[in-house]
A and B are shown apart, each in its own frame.
Chain A
Amino acid sequence: MKIDPIHQFNIEPLFTIGHIGNHTIAFTNSSFYMLLAVAVISVLMLASGRQLVPGRLQSVAEISYEFVASTIRSTAGSEGMKFFPLIFSLFMFICVSNLVGIIPYTFTVSSHLIVTAALALLVFFTVLVYGLYKNGLKFFKIFVPSGVPIYILPLVMFIEILSFFLRPVSHSVRLFANMLAGHIALKVFAGFVGMLGVSLGAIGWLGGVMPLALTVALTALELLVAFLQAYVFAILTCIYLNDAIHPGH
């Protein structure tokens, strides 16, 4: 029995939708899980009750709402609430995708760099377009920190500009790498359980207890990481948007 920790990331086309140029656009397992995430979020937010004293599902919906709202208020101020739907969508989409991905035999949408990169670039261009639209050329003040001596200003500006354009890279790779590494580690340790059992018989099944325990522990850790990475993605989005709303450090 061979461990193939990469297999879980395969994109399987289910049926073809159409063609753009010479690219075949297929409905894949990834598409399915994306739509599943959208469906889960919609059910959570729309089918939960509207009681005065909330039940469990309604509590989850309201806690998500208030959690994201308070994150935006604390990092980007009340003006950041303009982007509440965007940040809420990002947070919930990533969080639900990550959490669904922990279930064995499912697919993790956010374990593909192209997806996280698209989301990060969406944030990047939102910041750029909104910053320029709202502040005009004053937006470029974010590259010129105040109180820096004039002789090192060019260097600081260079670093600021570089870091600004590298934001989508770190923003997307952080999420992608966390999901990828976590799932590979889980798969490897889970694979050990079966491999020991097959190759060593009864002793192997006993020996398999260790990696099994580790798999359980890693799953718990992955639950934390799944939520945390969604939160990190959302809070970084808030911080970047704060630059667009209030340029000038």
Chain B
Amino acid sequence: MAESHGEVSGQKAGAHTEADGGHGGGFPPFDSSTFASQLVSLAIAFVALYIIVSRFALPRVGGVIEARQNMIESDLAEAQKLKDESEAALKAYENDLVAARSRAQAISNETREKLNAASEAERKALEDKLAAKLHDAEKTITATRAAAMSNVRGIAADAATAIVQRLTGLAPDGAAVNSAVDASLKG
């Protein structure tokens, strides 16, 4: 860095050796008598600035920026972790909820089926009992009817015998009366 300054000063100063000293006349930026002074001060100032900047200023400010960046990143990571945790908790809760709901469903289905089966069995037993009773009743009715019918036949035969006796004065043959009663009952 410094060499290039020196080189420039050498070139320019060599090209313009006339040193008028006064500033009144010429255009100051082209007054070569001031070049050497300016170059020397520039070299000193710029080298000092470069050393300050590269050794102290940039590491310092860069360090502050980096520390902040790290802080932000770790905070964001922490927030992400907490978010993940809360999401996991929410998911677990939802899973539990779903499981509980399905269990409740299962229990209610089971109970319903059990109750249905029980009521069905009860109904069947009742029906069977009723059917048996009905059957018994029918049997009784048939028996009663048959008894009544046989009674009717006896009465009819007696009545027929009595009628025939009264009309004819003769006691009819029992077998003939029975067959006649049977024939009339059938007809």
A residues with CB within 8 A of B: 6, 9-13, 17, 20-28, 30-31, 34-35, 37-38, 41-42, 45-46, 48, 50, 52, 54, 58, 61-62, 65-66, 84-86, 88-89, 92-93, 109, 111-115, 117-119, 121-122, 124-126, 176, 180
> What are 28 contact pairs spanning A and B, CB under 8 A?
A11-B23, A13-B37, A20-B40, A25-B40, A31-B37, A34-B41, A35-B45, A41-B52, A42-B52, A46-B52, A46-B57, A58-B64, A61-B61, A85-B53, A86-B50, A88-B58, A93-B49, A112-B34, A113-B29, A118-B4, A119-B42, A119-B46, A121-B4, A122-B5, A122-B46, A124-B4, A125-B4, A176-B29
> Which residue in chain A gives the minimum CB-CB distance to B5?
A118
Partner of B37, one of A10, A28, A35, A92: A28
Given contacts A10-B28, A11-B37, A38-B49, 7 further A-B contacts (CB under 8 A): A6-B27, A34-B46, A45-B61, A65-B62, A89-B46, A89-B54, A121-B8
Complex-state Cα separation, A26 to B31, whole angstroms: 14
A-B contact count (CB 8 A): 156
> Would you call A30 and B58 a contact (CB within 8 A)?
no
- Known A23-B13, A34-B42; judge A46-B56 contact (CB<8 A): yes
Q: Considering only CB atoms and an 8 Å cut-off, how many residues of chain B contact the other chain?
A: 46
A64, chain B: closest CB distance, angstroms: 8
Contacts known (A6-B28, A113-B29, A121-B8); A38 close to B1, Cβ less than 8 A:
no
Cβ of B90 under 8 Å from chain A: no
| A65: contacting residue among B12, B40, B58, B71, CB under 8 A | B58
B interface, CB within 8 angstroms of A: 1, 3-5, 7-8, 12-13, 19, 23, 27-31, 34-46, 48-50, 52-54, 56-58, 60-65, 67-68, 71
CA of A119 to CA of B1, assembled, Å = 9
Contact A37 B45 (CB under 8 A): yes
What CA separation (Å) do A10 and B39 show in the bound complex? Answer: 16
A52 in contact with B38 (CB, 8 Å): no
Chain B residue numbers with a CB within 8 Å of A26 are 37
When distances are taken between beta carbons in the complex, the residues of chain B under 8 Å from A6 are 27-28
What distance in Å separates the Cβ of B41 from its nearest Cβ neighbour in chain A?
A: 3
Contact A10 B65, beta carbon cutoff 8 Å: no
Determine the distance from Cα of A207 to Cα of B157 in the docked complex, in whole angstroms. 164
A126 to chain B, nearest CB (A): 8
Least distance between B151 CB and chain A CB atoms (Å): 121
Residues in B neighbouring A28, C-beta threshold 8 A: 34, 37-38, 41
Given known A-B contacts A11-B31, A28-B34, A45 and B53 have beta carbons under 8 A apart: yes
Q: Do residues B53 and A118 form an inter-chain contact, with CB atoms below 8 A?
A: no
CA distance A66 to B3 in the complex (A): 30
Contact A122-B60, Cβ < 8 Å, known A27-B41, A176-B29: no
Would A122 and B45 count as touching, CB distance under 8 A?
Answer: no
Name the distance in Å between A42's Cβ and chain B's nearest Cβ. Answer: 5
Task: Decide if B49 touches A111 in the complex (CB within 8 Å).
Answer: no
B38 near A115 with CB under 8 A, answer: yes
- Residues from chain B with a CB closer than 8 A to the CB of A84 are 58
Contact: B8 with A62, CB < 8 Å?
no
Q: Which residues of B contact A22 (CB under 8 A)?
A: 19
* Cα distance, A197 to B174, chains bound together (Å): 176
Chain A residues with CB under 8 A of B19: 22-23
Q: Is there contact, CB below 8 Å, between B8 and A112?
A: no
* Minimum-distance CB pairs A-B, first 5: A45-B57, A31-B41, A85-B54, A34-B45, A23-B36
